[in-house]
């Protein structure tokens, strides 16, 4: 048995996850979406009504020191974000709850998707990839290819792996600058690379527009600013992609006319 999995710890990400659920339905996904829900959040009922299975989970058991080092305030101070902005509702500590998916042993394999992603063409074939497969953290230049982005990945649930991960994660003084993403790249040094079309980061739109091929792109991932944020500094630049997200969220279909990406700068 397989499942798509996402993580929701608050109302904002529940809203994102609903767009994700609708996008999976839109692309005739063969497997359901399991929502790992840490804490009660308004919006979980709507996800259940949309056919998601809600699995309540506690935040992972992490030491007080670890939690302090990865609080929003200290994480932003120790590893400032220089390329984009995280919304106020993003708590870096919550990212580590993703690791709970390794406890879902009822599934032979899962495809994890961030709640700020939408699927625009079917991605069922990802279940044919082994653990650990992820796409590059590509949004600025070629130099991005050596890092992975943890917004989309293929994993094989196993409680043994989960326990081993927690051991490796919460070492004395451990600090993971980009939270689960840095950790997963370290834990799986031989990660398998997926093509960027499985996790196309929204900044590709303006930084690498020559890579924006609507026919090829399968997942759009709205990293940094979220398309449902009231006001964010990149609203103008990302307007067409925000409209695309909104259309999927509201209608469960792609807009009839997909916008053309900006001209590449010379
Ligand atoms: N997440 C969450 N609550 C939080 C932070 C993160 O539910 O406070 C989940 C959610 O699924 C989100 C993912 O973890 O999509 C990773 O965070 P985010 O997508 O904001 O990070 P980015 O893609 O901008 O690096
Ligand atoms: Mn994300």
In tens digits, the chain (266 residues) has pLDDT values of: 999 999 999 999 999 999 999 999 999 999 999 999 999 999 999 999 999 999 999 999 999 999 999 999 999 999 999 999 999 999 999 999 999 999 999 999 999 999 999 999 999 999 999 999 999 999 999 999 999 999 999 999 999 999 999 999 999 999 999 999 999 999 999 999 999 999 999 999 999 999 999 999 999 999 999 999 998 999 999 999 999 999 999 999 999 999 999 988 77
For 21-71, the pLDDT digits (tens) are 999 999 999 999 999 999 999 999 999 999 999 999 999 999 999 999 999
* Residue 224 Cβ contacting ligand 1 at under 6 Å: yes
Pocket test for ligand 1, best of 92, 94, 219 (most atoms within 8 A of CB): 94
Q: Which one of 15, 16, 56, 95 would you pick to mutate in the ligand 1 pocket, going by the greatest count of ligand atoms within 8 A of its CB?
A: 95
Q: What angle do CA 170, 172, 175 make, to 5 degrees?
A: 65
The residue extents of the domains of the chain are 2-251
Q: From CA 177, how far away is CA 180, in angstroms rounded?
A: 9
Q: Domain 2-251 belongs to what topology?
A: Spore Coat Polysaccharide Biosynthesis Protein SpsA; Chain A (3.90.550)
User: Are 47 and 77 spatial neighbours (Cβ–Cβ below 8 Å)?
Assistant: no
pLDDT of residue 126: 98
> 143 CB contacts (<8 Å, ≥6 apart)?
none
Give the separation between CA 3 and CA 32, rounded to whole angstroms.
6
Could you tell me what percent of the chain has a pLDDT over 90? 98
Instruction: State which ligand 1 atom lies nearest to the alpha carbon of 222.
Output: 23
For 122, how many CA atoms within 13 A lie in the half-sphere containing its CB? 9
Query: Looking at the CA of 139, which ligand is closest?
Result: 1
What length does the chain have?
Answer: 266
- The closest-lying atom of ligand 1 relative to the alpha carbon of residue 9 is 7
């Amino acid at each position: 048995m397989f499942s798509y999995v996402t993580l929701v710890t608050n109302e904002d990400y529940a809203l994102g996850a609903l767009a994700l659920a609708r996008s999976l339905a839109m692309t005739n996904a063969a497997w359901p979406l399991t929502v790992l829900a840490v804490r009660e959040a308004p919006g979980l009922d709507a996800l259940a009504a949309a056919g998601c299975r809600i699995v309540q989970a506690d935040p992972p058991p992490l030491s007080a020191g670890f939690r302090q080092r990865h609080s929003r305030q200290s994480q932003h101070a120790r590893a400032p974000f220089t390329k984009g902005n995280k919304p106020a509702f993003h708590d870096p500590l919550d990212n580590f709850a993703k690791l709970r998916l390794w406890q879902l042993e009822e599934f032979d394999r899962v495809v994890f998707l961030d709640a700020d992603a939408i699927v625009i063409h079917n991605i069922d074939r990802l279940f044919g990839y082994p653990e650990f497969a992820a796409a590059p953290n590509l949004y600025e230049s070629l130099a991005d290819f050596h890092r992975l982005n943890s917004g989309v990945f293929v994993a094989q649930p196993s409680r043994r792996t989960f326990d081993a991960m927690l051991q490796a994660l919460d070492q004395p003084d451990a600090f993971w600058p980009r939270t689960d993403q840095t950790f997963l790249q370290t834990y799986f040094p031989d990660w398998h690379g997926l093509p960027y079309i499985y996790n196309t980061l929204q900044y590709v739109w303006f930084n690498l527009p020559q890579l924006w091929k609507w026919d090829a792109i399968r997942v759009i991932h709205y990293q940094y600013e979220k398309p449902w944020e009231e006001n964010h500094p990149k609203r103008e630049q990302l307007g067409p992609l925000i409209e695309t997200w909104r259309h999927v969220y509201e209608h469960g279909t792609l807009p009839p006319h997909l916008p053309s990406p900006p001209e590449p700068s010379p």
